[in-house]
């Protein structure tokens, strides 16, 4: 189209034929105010045109005279509306005279105009829909995206030429200032515009604006903008969390306005006791009058307080007209502030949901390690929580729950179903809750799940197994002692007992947790605390999330509770998922171990047990079972079985508990069969340990300190304490990441020995505790486990100090259960290393066996792992073994045997034998011994 063809009629015709182009052009090139005015106008036009299509109004009931008059006035205005719209919509179809006046259409043209109205209504309805749709998709999304990206560039305000504004009528000025704030969505910018505009409306010198904060039961005002003048910038007037003024409801002028929801107009503030004159003294400004007014939302609730100071004209006093104008303007401001706050909330909620979704992704990305998972969640949530310190406490019971493969499948299915409901909820946290969980309402067909029988009733009974603290970007895992002494951990325990969130505004003033200040060793002071319980899929509490001190110094509010609740839900899901993964790995490891064990071991045959049951067993004196210098090296394997049976017979255990004799014989044969033929930790070692226990009980006169169940369990534990030993120690199992190390985190071999012992007891014809009542059976198993685990030297070192304290304080009876457990643990160690107490000839031969086994492990570490073994296991350091053996005796053996010698004189031969052998090893270390055999070592 050339310039000569570009006429008004041609453009109008093109735009009529292409309304979508017109709408798109306006959206792209017009400013926001023009677009909104146009959209509002088009909507009104469409409604009016629709009304003009009906020649008669719909029938109505007879109305009062006043309403009838209003109806007649509306009907009289309809032709004018139609004429107005005809002018707007069909200007190109109507004639214009020379003076530019519109010529009214003829009667024939009126009928055409009706059809034209229908067409134009359809066109401009389409235009309006397109405009609004494009606006939603482009402008609103663009604004939202800018806010998400942190772009809060201030929109240009209307030009405030005071001379132009003063020439306007009051109504025009009022509407001009309303337009200035109508489209502002940034709360800070909006409040600044409000105060500047109010200053223009009322001729006030300056103003301040306070917004309501806090919970419904504890509301207060905070200064958003202070001392805003006509020329002050937003940056000069805005108050941040660091310098904001907090005014409780009912305190001061602003506080009273907020509380009573009524304006206050004070002509002389110095005569009013509610005015704080210290503000004027600090600023040097003289306040004469104040007009303070509440800002209400659509529900009539106070959302803020605006106040203006010192009227510029006259005697500084604000008039009734100023009050009315101020109140009228604040009505629109309340709408604007509410909309801006809602927009800000939607932006923050969007960010929170994005972070929660990010946390959800992290849960499934990290599932191999619980500690890494919790640390990842805490680090990712740092921006969300906005607190100085964050902690997660995990209950001990959460690690004891038994989970099988069906549990995993059931939970995964329920979780995916809940995740699918997210689109039907306004909050992702709501979708994650599962009130229809069948595990809460019906019994699991696969068997009971072992959970805590009843919730704890006292904080002291709550035990946390692990804890993680996030502070200043660093994550710390407190020790058990630190958890026991921590006041923060005590508050978390109270949350577990209560089972509900715990929000403490001021810890020092609360009084429930002692007197303040609550300052830890690092100098960190706790003021406000928010605790939220963490639940698993069965709604059982498995931990606690704890927040301490908001960064802005304010107490935690309802919004913070909602955030931490969602965070705790995701934490619970993550922990549950990670535990399932770990349990699945444990199940696989357990299966691998079981297959390995079953492929090598088998239960002793019934015929073998019957053979021993029919034989005559020699006496204990024939085998010298009551002596400390007992020697099994010359005995045959069958004799060791017979001697073992004899010890249980002489201990009167078979008769006392009515154990079938054949069952006892078969159990002993099965235990022997389940020891591997390793060099030292084999059946012979177990047999000697049991004989030493028998000797300490009867020759050492310790038997009166125990009942029959304890004696039975101790002797059985000695025989089983090294079942299925592989000839390598715990450190080696961890180093090679063996299935056993995956299955047990601590005391790897000892836990395996105990589990193997239970497996034998559960085998057909091998349950020597079968005649025990249920309570005694459980007690026997508990003693059995405690005794076997006590052979771990790492536990021995932890308990030896307490045992020494008891003995040196004169304890000899050991009647209390705790003291008796300590005695049993020390007895197991004394029996386990008793080879060091044997006569020197026996000690040397056993030392060669121990040394050979240690060297075998050292060779594997060198050849297969490429690592240098410790000196005790290094074949190249065999010349240093006598010296190391002396160290072994001094650090492990001598202390325990000296203590037993103090308990009972009949136990002194153990200490004497140990001392004698130490002397021989020391002579070998110094080169004074006549014995040239240096490949000797003993111990476990």
**CB-based contact 676:720 (threshold 8 Å):** no
**CB-based contact 710:824 (threshold 8 Å):** yes
**CB-based contact 190:337 (threshold 8 Å):** yes
Residue 303 makes CB contacts below 8 A (sequence gap 6+) with 211, 212, 295, 296, 297, 334, 337, 338, 341
How many CA atoms does the CB half-sphere of 165 hold within 13 Å?
18
3-state secondary structure of 388: strand
Structure tokens at 160: 């405030």
Q: Among this protein's residues, is 920 annotated catalytic?
A: no
- Distances in Å between the Cα of 513 and the Cα atoms of 90, 506, 526, 553, 692 are 79, 11, 12, 21, 52
Q: Can you tell me the distance from the alpha carbon of 779 to that of 817, in angstroms, rounded to the nearest whole number?
A: 12
User: For residue 494, what is the enclosing H or E element?
Assistant: helix 487-498
Size of the chain in residues: 940
Q: Can you tell me the distance from the alpha carbon of 255 to that of 338, in angstroms, rounded to the nearest whole number?
A: 20
Q: Can you tell me the distance from the alpha carbon of 607 to that of 662, in angstroms, rounded to the nearest whole number?
A: 10
Instruction: Give one DSSP letter per residue of 769-817, joined into a string.
Output: TTTS-HHHHHHHHHHHHHHHHTTSHHHHHHHHHHHHHHHHTT-----SH
Helix ranges (H only) for 261-381 are 278-283, 320-365, 370-380
Structure tokens at 467: 């804890």
Instruction: Write down the residue that tokens 């103003």 correspond to.
Output: 207
Q: Can you tell me the distance from the alpha carbon of 11 to that of 6, in angstroms, rounded to the nearest whole number?
A: 7
Burial 366-379 (b: 16+ CB within 10 A, else e): bbeebeebbbbbbe
User: For residue 669, what is the enclosing H or E element?
Assistant: helix 661-673
Structure tokens at 940: 């476990």
Other beta carbons within 10 angstroms of residue 416's beta carbon come to 9
Instruction: Give one DSSP letter per residue of 425-447, joined into a string.
Output: SSSHHHHH--TT-GGGTS--TT-
User: For residue 641, what is the enclosing H or E element?
Assistant: helix 637-650
Which one of 85, 488, 576, 681 is the catalytic residue?
Answer: 681
How many CA atoms does the CB half-sphere of 711 hold within 13 Å?
24
Structure tokens at 828: 């197991």
Residue 390 phi/psi, 5-degree rounding, is -130, 135
Q: Can you tell me the distance from the alpha carbon of 290 to that of 531, in angstroms, rounded to the nearest whole number?
A: 43
Given phi > 0 = left and psi -120 to 50 = alpha, else beta, which region is 876?
alpha
Residues marked as catalytic: 681
């Amino acid at each position: 189209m050339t310039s000569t063809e570009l006429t008004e009629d041609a453009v109008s015709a093109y735009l009529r034929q292409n309304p979508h182009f017109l709408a798109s052009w306006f959206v792209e090139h017009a400013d926001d105010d023009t677009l909104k005015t146009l959209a509002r106008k088009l909507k009104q036009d469409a409604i009016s045109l629709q009304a003009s299509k009906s020649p008669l109004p719909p029938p109505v009931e007879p109305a009062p005279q006043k309403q009838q008059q209003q109806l007649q006035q509306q009907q009289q205005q309809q032709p004018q509306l139609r004429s107005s719209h005809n002018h707007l919509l069909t200007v190109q179809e109507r004639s214009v005279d020379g003076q530019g006046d519109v010529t009214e259409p003829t009667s024939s043209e009126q009928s055409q105009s009706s059809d034209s109205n229908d067409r134009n209504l359809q066109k401009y309805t389409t235009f309006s829909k397109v405009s609004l749709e494009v606006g939603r998709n482009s402008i609103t999304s663009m604004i939202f995206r800018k806010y998400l990206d942190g772009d809060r560039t201030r929109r240009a305000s209307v030009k405030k030429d005071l001379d132009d504004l003063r020439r306007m009528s009051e109504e025009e000025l009022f509407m001009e200032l309303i337009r200035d704030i109508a489209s502002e969505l940034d709360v800070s910018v909006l409040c600044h515009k409000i105060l500047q505009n109010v200053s223009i409306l009322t001729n006030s010198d300056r103003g301040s604006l306070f917004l309501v904060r806090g919970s419904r039961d504890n509301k207060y005002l905070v200064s958003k903008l202070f001392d805003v003048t006509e020329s002050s910038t937003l940056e000069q007037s805005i108050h941040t969390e660091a310098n904001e003024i907090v005014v409780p409801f009912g305190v001061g002028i602003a506080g009273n306005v907020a509380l009573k929801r009524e304006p206050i107009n004070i002509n002389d503030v110095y005569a009013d006791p509610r005015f704080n004159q210290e503000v004027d003294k600090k600023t040097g400004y003289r306040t004469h009058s104040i007009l303070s007014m509440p800002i209400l939302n659509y529900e009539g609730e106070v959302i803020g307080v605006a106040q203006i100071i010192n009227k510029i004209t006259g005697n500084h006093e604000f008039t009734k007209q100023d009050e009315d104008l101020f109140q009228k303007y604040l009505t629109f401001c309340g709408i604007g502030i509410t909309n801006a706050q809602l927009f800000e909330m939607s932006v923050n909620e969007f960010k929170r949901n994005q972070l929660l979704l990010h946390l959800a992704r992290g849960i499934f990305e990290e599932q191999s390690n619980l500690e890494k998972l919790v640390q990842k969640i805490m680090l990712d949530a740092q921006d969300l929580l906005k607190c100085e310190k964050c902690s997660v406490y995990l209950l001990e019971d959460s690690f004891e729950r038994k989970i099988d493969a069906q549990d995993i499948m059931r939970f995964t299915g329920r979780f995916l179903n809940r995740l699918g409901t997210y689109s039907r909820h306004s909050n992702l946290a709501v979708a994650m809750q599962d009130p229809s969980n069948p595990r809460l309402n019906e019994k699991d067909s696969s068997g009971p799940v072992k959970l805590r029988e009843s919730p704890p009733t006292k904080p002291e009974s709550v035990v946390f197994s692990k804890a993680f603290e996030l502070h200043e970007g660093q994550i710390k895992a407190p020790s058990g002692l630190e958890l026991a002494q921590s006041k923060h951990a005590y508050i978390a325990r109270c949350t577990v007992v209560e089972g509900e969130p715990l929000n403490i505004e001021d810890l020092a003033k609360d009084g429930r947790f002692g007197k303040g200040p609550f300052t830890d060793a690092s100098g960190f002071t706790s003021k406000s605390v928010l605790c939220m319980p963490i639940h698993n899929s069965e709604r059982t509490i498995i931990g606690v999330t704890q927040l301490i001190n908001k960064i802005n110094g304010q107490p935690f509010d309802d919004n913070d509770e909602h955030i931490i609740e969602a965070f705790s839900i995701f934490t619970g899901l993550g922990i549950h998922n990670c535990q399932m993964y770990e349990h699945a790995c444990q199940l696989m490891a357990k299966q691998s171990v079981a297959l390995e064990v079953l492929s090598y071991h088998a239960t002793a045959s019934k015929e073998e047990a019957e053979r021993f049951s029919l034989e005559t067993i020699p006496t204990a004196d024939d085998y010298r079972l009551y002596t400390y210098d007992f020697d099994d090296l010359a005995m045959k394997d069958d004799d060791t079985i017979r001697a073992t049976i004899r010890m249980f017979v002489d201990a009167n255990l078979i008769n006392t508990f009515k154990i079938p004799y054949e069952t006892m014989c078969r159990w002993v044969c099965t235990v022997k069969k389940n020891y591997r033929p390793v060099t030292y930790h084999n059946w012979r070692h177990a047999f000697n340990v049991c004989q030493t226990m028998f000797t300490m009980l009867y020759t050492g006169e310790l038997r009166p300190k125990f009942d029959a169940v304890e004696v039975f369990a101790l002797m059985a534990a000695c025989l089983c304490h090294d079942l299925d030993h592989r000839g390598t120690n715990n450190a080696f199992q961890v180093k090679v990441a063996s299935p056993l190390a995956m299955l047990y985190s601590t005391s790897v071999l000892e836990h395996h020995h105990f589990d193997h012992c239970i497996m034998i007891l559960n085998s057909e014809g091998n349950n020597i505790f079968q005649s025990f009542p249920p309570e005694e059976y459980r007690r026997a198993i508990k003693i059995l486990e405690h005794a076997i685990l006590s052979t771990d030297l790492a536990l021995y070192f932890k308990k030896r100090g307490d045992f020494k304290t008891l003995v040196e304080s004169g304890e000899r009876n050991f009647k209390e259960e705790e003291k008796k457990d300590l005695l049993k643990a020390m007895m197991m160690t004394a029996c386990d290393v008793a080879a060091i107490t044997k006569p020197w000839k026996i000690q040397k031969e056993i030392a060669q066996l121990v040394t050979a086994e240690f060297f075998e492990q050292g060779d594997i570490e060198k050849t297969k792992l490429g690592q240098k073994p410790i000196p005790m296991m290094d074949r190249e350091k065999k010349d240093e073994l006598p010296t190391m053996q002396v160290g072994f005796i001094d650090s492990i053996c001598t202390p325990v045997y000296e203590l037993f010698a103090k308990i009972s004189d009949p136990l002194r031969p153990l200490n004497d034998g140990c001392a004698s052998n130490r002397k021989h090893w020391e002579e070998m270390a110094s080169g004074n011994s006549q014995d040239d055999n240096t490949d000797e070592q003993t111990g476990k």
